[in-house]
Structure formats: structure tokens, C-alpha cells
Amino acid sequence: MTGERALILDFGGVVTRTLFETHDVTERTLGLAPDTLTWRGPFAPETDPLWVSMQRQEISERDYWLTRAREVGQMVGEDWTDMQTFVRRARGAEPELVLRPEARDAILQVKAAGLKLAILSNELDLFYGVEFRRRFPLIDRFDVIVDATHTGILKPDPRAYEQVLAELGIAREACVFVDDQLKNIEGARAVRLPHVHFDVTRPAEGYAQALAMLGL
């Protein structure tokens, strides 16, 4: 494959490790004892009944995370009523510790090959905060960041994908979009944007597939 190409990444779960994977960081940051947090979501669904309930669509993903936020807030003697507080308190101090190693390698490989990079997120600044983004490793390697925090256009709305493509200035067939949420992958499919449905339990496989689709 020749010519201009681009890798378009979701942020949470794709560029960053999930909250399930960074319990040690959360515990240290919040002053909790090691192994206080035991819920593991997709990494150990048999030990996380609430996650299983969400997968069965008995509760929403929002409900799942609001429950976890309240639980952790209570552990530190605070009343957390939103996901933003949880994410910022748990991850804000050491952003470099939540970057996926596989994401780091892919970002560097893409830029070394002269390709473009973009983030297409529904809640980058909303959940993580502007200061976290500014301090996040390799954020300066991205050519385009489209964040619904500011645009108000959430994936899987077709306009979100069209905006990032327009800002990149690259034909959609020369791009690959990576996201861990099926609904967002279905949105990409609807606008004929090549895509990879990212499995957070197999990050190396997801990035290998995306890079191969870009000819790397």
C-alpha cells in the first residue's frame, strides 16, 4: 500500500489500559491496600457478577461504572456520583502508567513510517480532563484529535467519523479505525470506514491487525 494512510484510535481502552488492568495504580493513587479492588470485568467475568449482568443487558454500561465509582468513592470516604471523578482521581497523577505498551509501539511505528494518527473519542477531556491529556505520553504524535466533549457529536453518529476523516484529509479506504465498543465499530461499518474491533484482553492482536491493514 502506498500514499497517505492513517490510523484512527479510540482513546479509553485502546490507547489506555482499562480500569480493570490498572487496579494497582488506582490503589496506590488513592491510598488503598493492594488487592482491595477485585472486579475484573472481561478479564475474569466469572468473578464479576455485575459485569455479567451488563453483558446480559440487565444494566447499562453507565450503570456498571456508576456503581464502581460509588464503591471506590466510599472506600476513600467520599461521595462520587459520576464516572469523571473516578477516572480523574484514579488516573490523573501518573498518566504514563495507563498507556498501553502495545499502543506506544504502534504509535511510534506509524509515525516512523510517515503515516498520520488521529484520536476519535467520545469523552477524552470529559472523563480524563484537559491537564491529563496535555501530560499524556505521545499525545503530541497525533495529527488530529476529535473529542465529542467539545464537538457534541458522539460515535456512532456518522458525523463523528466524517469529521475525523475531513480533518485528516485522507480517503476513508486509506484509514483504519480501532475501537473496543461494538456499537462504534458498527458506526464505522455504516460509513464504510475500515475498522478493527479491539479486544482489550488481546491488545497485541488488535494492533497487529490494524497495522497489517495499513501495510505495516
% the chain with pLDDT above 70: 98
Q: pLDDT tens for residues 119-145?
A: 999 989 888 888 889 889 999 999 999
CB neighbours of 163 closer than 8 A, spacing ≥ 6? Answer: 146, 151, 153
Compute the average pLDDT of residues 195-201.
Answer: 97
Domain end (from 33, 65, 95): 95
What's 113's domain CATH number? 3.40.50.1000
Residue 212 phi, psi (nearest 5)? -65, -40
Kindly state whether residue 144 falls inside one of the protein's structural domains.
yes
The boundaries of the domain holding residue 51 are: 23-95
The predicted structure's pLDDT at residue 1 = 47
Kindly state whether residue 31 falls inside one of the protein's structural domains.
yes
Whether 53 and 137 map to the same domain: the answer is no
Mean residue pLDDT across the chain: 93
Whether 33 and 74 map to the same domain: the answer is yes
Whether 112 and 35 map to the same domain: the answer is no
Whether 30 and 136 map to the same domain: the answer is no
Residues 13 and 21: their CA atoms lie apart, in Å, by 10
Least confident segment among 33-37, 78-82, 103-107, 200-204: 78-82
Kindly state whether residue 1 falls inside one of the protein's structural domains.
no
Q: In terms of DSSP bridges, do strands 175-179 and 144-147 run parallel, antiparallel, or are they unpaired?
A: unpaired
Residues 6 and 121: their CA atoms lie apart, in Å, by 16
Whether 114 and 182 map to the same domain: the answer is yes
Residues 49 and 68: their CA atoms lie apart, in Å, by 12
Whether 122 and 194 map to the same domain: the answer is yes
Domain end (from 55, 73, 95): 95
Domain end (from 80, 95, 110): 95
Candidates 23, 3, 61; CA nearest to 181 is 61
The predicted structure's pLDDT at residue 67 = 95
Whether 103 and 200 map to the same domain: the answer is yes
DSSP conformational letter for 126: I
Q: Number of structural domains, the chain?
A: 2
